[in-house]
Structure 1
Amino acid sequence: WYLGIQIPDPNLPRVSMNRLKYPPYDPKVDWEKIEATIEQKPAQYTSYDVADPLRVGRVLLTSTTFQRDALNDYAINATGKDLYHWLEKYPAARGVETMRGFALGPLAYDIWLIDWSIKGGLGGHDAIALVEVVCDSDHDDLRLLMAQYKTTHNVELVDAIRKKYSGRKLERLLLSCLSLERPSDSLPVQATQVATDADALWDATRRRPRDEAITDVFTKRSRPHVAAVISLYSTRHGSSLRQDIKKVLKGSDYGHAILYILDGVKAKRDGHGAWRDAKMIMATMKGVGMKHTELQYRVVRAQWDKERFVAVRKAFKEHYGMTFEERIAEATSSYYKNIFFMMCQQTLDLEGGAEV
């Protein structure tokens, strides 16, 4: 399991074209559908082939993670390229981040996001995707992520982070998350430790900033414990922990990571990150110019677990007074919008059959 859904064993060997990896599913049928989406378009001096992203998206979205895994094997056997890299050569599919996510599946997509982020995928904000993948994940997910990152890139994830962020506060935070020292959320919250941590954070944000104390509280305490610390901090000190951290860390990658964890556990929200994720999706559609890449990867990651996707969209509507679909319709157009609508359509059974 990964991100709340069952996934294929990433270490299973690729099967040949004449064998079914997950019977009775035959990937040849879907492969032929995808091939049929390729159309020749005229240009001024020549012609070029274009993949219809809506038709491709429909095939991938109506397949399970296991079926997409088998389809990916079939693509490699048929073309020598995995499914995404085969689609990438057709202009209409290139740049559609959703296609990459659907083609790779949740685990491989997160590994790609981490590598892309470490290599500076968003320029001056290169750590954003890495933070979102690592900083609030369950331990089982992180173990699987670290193991598969090593298999894919032949380097330990912790070593890749040390090399990229050496000496920075963010390095210590990420490595602390990957040390898997956070206690289980099922353990009872200890009031004395909550009080100690609330006071430590007050000192860390009021006197000389001490990132070690901040990092320890947010990466080595259970989510219910951190939620209790946030509440007591406000009660005891008459100040917002979020605002104090935002002020003292001043928009740094490290500060972003701390706020990402904090917003995911706040008891006055949902305590499970749905409100935070809705807020971050909305942030990609605010101001001048959409942040297309962030919008796509955030929605793709949110929709793997359909129940969680429903919770994120519910939080979105409660917070902004409009549905996610209505905002998408305002901010996007063409196939881009319709692919998002198709993702929403998949959750109708969880939402009582309401129309999208």
Structure 2
Amino acid sequence: MATLTVPPVPVNPRDDAIQLYKAFKGLGCDTATVIGILAHRDATQRAHIRQEYQTMYSEDIYKRLASELSGKLEIAVQLWMHDPATRDATILKKGLTKNFLDVEGVTEIICSRTSSQLQAVTQIYHSTFGTHLENDIKLQIFGDHQKILLAFISKQRYEGMEVDREMAAKDAKALYKAGEKRLGTDEKVFVQIFSKRSRAHLVAINTCYHDMYGGSLKKAIKKETSGSFETALLTILQCAENPAKYFAKMLYKAMKGIGTFDTRLIRIIVTRAEIDMQYIKAEYHKKYHKSLKDAVHSDTSGHYRTFLLSLLGPNLS
């Protein structure tokens, strides 16, 4: 469930384009107006605004925003202007750039998305950047981490809720034999099962694993794997079980302690605001006994804070 709030009566995108143009004119930018409009328009409305702005002023509003805004606000607003698949592709491209490698961001985007979402992202990645996502992963990511990412974007997975319990038990046994039962780990088995099985099936495997061996699959992964490969497997499993809980935990870690991991904060809030941020807020409050909005308010400032809080919507009652 989304947290994005839009006007009850849709605003004409032409009117929005005019107001944004006025906000850009003169010395400085009327940032409050820009946020007031863009943080309260859904993906379709933002696309229409971009089209109207281009038609009326012969200028890409995306480029204009880049020149008018700066810092963390610029990054957040520019990401927000994209549709979800183009946004994911953009995050992946930037994260796979040699001098700005963001292994966490790349792993999260790939391992938290459904098979159909990844299919759309890989197509847009190629059409937008003129290169294949697979090739960039091969250039910048290595070892078992590379193998799971490549397998996860290439395999078509069932997205329904039906589960073959007998197959789930066999998979649990295969993972146990590949990990905890032996000396060393057969990573190929983990890659094969985690990249091919549906989310519902992975949840069933986890249940079978606990019933059969008395321990959780999550603990087995932590024990038998390490580094970014471990992170990828855990992300896949956690997003199969409860994606909102996973993102709530990542947001908490982004704001825990001194300083804020703004790259993560922006990525999660911007990419989930139109999907499941209401559930993420509920999970955050349940686990950390503080509202996500209060946490973000404490860790951010200025127009950047205003924009993120706008995307998060009103506090839960």
Task: Name the counterpart of 1:225.
Answer: 201
Task: Name the counterpart of 1:116.
Answer: 94
**Matching of residues 54-203 of structure 1 within 5 Å:** 54-77=32-55, 81-92=59-70, 95-120=73-98, 123=101, 126-165=102-141, 167-191=142-166, 193-203=167-177
Q: Shift of residue 183 of structure 1? A: 2.8
Q: How has the CA–CA distance of structure 1 residues 143 and 283 changed in structure 2, closer, same or farther, with 3 Å as cutoff?
A: same
State the Cα deviation string for residues 72-110 of structure 1 (Å, max 9, x = none): 234445566532221111244665332012222322211
Q: Report the aligned-residue RMSD.
A: 2.6
Aligned mate of 2:281, from 288, 291, 313 = 313
Greater alpha carbon shift after TM alignment, 92-101 vs 220-229? 92-101
1:216 aligns with 2:216: no
Task: Name the counterpart of 1:205.
Answer: 179
Q: In 1, Cα distance between the equivalents of 2:154 and 2:206? A: 23
Task: Name the counterpart of 2:268.
Answer: 298
Q: In 2, Cα distance between the equivalents of 1:343 and 1:152? A: 26
Contact kept, 8 Å, 1:88 with 1:94, in 2: the verdict is no
Contact kept, 8 Å, 1:189 with 1:225, in 2: the verdict is yes
Q: Which has the higher helix share?
A: 2
Q: In 1, Cα distance between the equivalents of 2:71 and 2:63? A: 10
Task: Name the counterpart of 2:5.
Answer: none
Letter in 2 for 1:319: K
Letter in 2 for 1:180: K
Task: Name the counterpart of 2:14.
Answer: 28
Contact kept, 8 Å, 1:118 with 1:164, in 2: the verdict is yes
Letter in 2 for 1:259: L
Q: In 2, Cα distance between the equivalents of 1:143 and 1:195? A: 29
Q: Shift of residue 118 of structure 1? A: 0.8
Letter in 2 for 1:98: A
Q: How has the CA–CA distance of structure 1 residues 54 and 247 changed in structure 2, closer, same or farther, with 3 Å as cutoff?
A: farther
State the Cα deviation string for residues 207-257 of structure 1 (Å, max 9, x = none): 22121111122111121221122122223223332223223323x222111
Contact kept, 8 Å, 1:87 with 1:94, in 2: the verdict is no
Letter in 1 for 2:309: F
Q: Shift of residue 150 of structure 1? A: 1.5
Q: Shift of residue 297 of structure 1? A: 1.1
Q: Shift of residue 201 of structure 1? A: 1.8
Q: In 2, Cα distance between the equivalents of 1:55 and 1:343? A: 15
Letter in 2 for 1:204: A
Contact kept, 8 Å, 2:245 with 2:283, in 1: the verdict is yes
Larger RCO, structure (CA 8 Å, separation 6 or more): 2
Contact kept, 8 Å, 2:284 with 2:291, in 1: the verdict is yes
Identity rate of aligned residues, in percent?
21
Letter in 1 for 2:245: W
Letter in 2 for 1:142: L
Letter in 2 for 1:249: T
1:237 aligns with 2:205: no
User: Number of residues paired by the alignment?
Assistant: 308
Q: In 2, Cα distance between the equivalents of 1:55 and 1:293? A: 24
Letter in 2 for 1:69: A
Task: Name the counterpart of 1:344.
Answer: 312
Contact kept, 8 Å, 1:284 with 1:295, in 2: the verdict is yes
Q: Structure 1, unaligned stretches of length 5 or more?
A: 5-23, 41-48, 266-270
Q: How has the CA–CA distance of structure 1 residues 239 and 84 changed in structure 2, closer, same or farther, with 3 Å as cutoff?
A: same
Letter in 2 for 1:114: L
Q: Shift of residue 26 of structure 1? A: 4.6
